[in-house]
Homo-oligomer: A and B are copies of this chain.
């Protein structure tokens, strides 16, 4: 080994040691355990799939999850086929598609309200470790349900229960209430290049 290589090696090791100290200190400073409210919003691909990945993680830890799909209820999606019959999963299809698909606002509001009643029961059950409210943001945005109906049961949930809300254009009050917010930017999307929704990726 040359002296130059030795030096580079030594510098790399010194940096790695220092970085480890910084990271270890940050990790040591974060010791709270609590049920989190996560909001995954923005126009990019990956919001709902991320929530379903957290369902998998939850089940991997032997805990229960409940999923409420507020819009895509009528679609035949892979996540439903995969998770819905798992003994530790509650899966409710609460919607019949976007309002421009159903063309019937009253029916959409009735579906949203029936779905929310079921979601509220999950939000009151400490045995459920994770509640996914998939595409809930649209219910607020389209005024199917008021924020005043949605926020209180979320905030009053069991202390260790996690909630994940997905959907574009999350209301400011949801973002303010959340512990973690990811805004998923649509940098590029295959759909604009003429590719339709693909099994396994989009549904």
Measured between C-beta atoms, what is the minimum distance from A9 to chain B in Å? 8
> CA of A16 to CA of B99 in the docked complex: distance in angstroms?
7
Which of B44, B164, B193 meets A182, CB within 8 Å? B44
Q: Does A46 contact B (CB under 8 A)?
A: yes
Contact indicator per residue, chain A 1-35, by CB within 8 Å of chain B (1) or not (0): 00000000000110011011001001101111110
A48 to B29, CA, bound (A): 24
A30 contacts B194, C-beta separation under 8 Å? yes
Using Cβ atoms and an 8 Å threshold, which residues of chain B touch A101?
20, 23
Contacting pair A36 B199 (CB below 8 A) = no
A145 at interface by CB-CB < 8 Å: no
- Size class of the A contact interface (CB-based, 8 Å): 35 or more
Chain B residues closer than 8 Å to A27, beta-carbon distance: 196
In Å, the complex CA distance between A33 and B199 comes to 10
Chain B residues with CB below 8 A from A100, complex form: 16-17, 19-20, 23
Q: Name the segment of A50-58, A117-125, A149-157 touching the other chain.
A: A50-58
User: A45: which of B49, B180, B189 is its contact (CB, 8 Å)?
Assistant: B180
Q: Which residue of B lies closest to A35 (CB)?
A: B198
Question: Nearest B residue to A27 by beta-carbon distance?
Answer: B196
Chain B residue nearest in CB terms to A81: B60
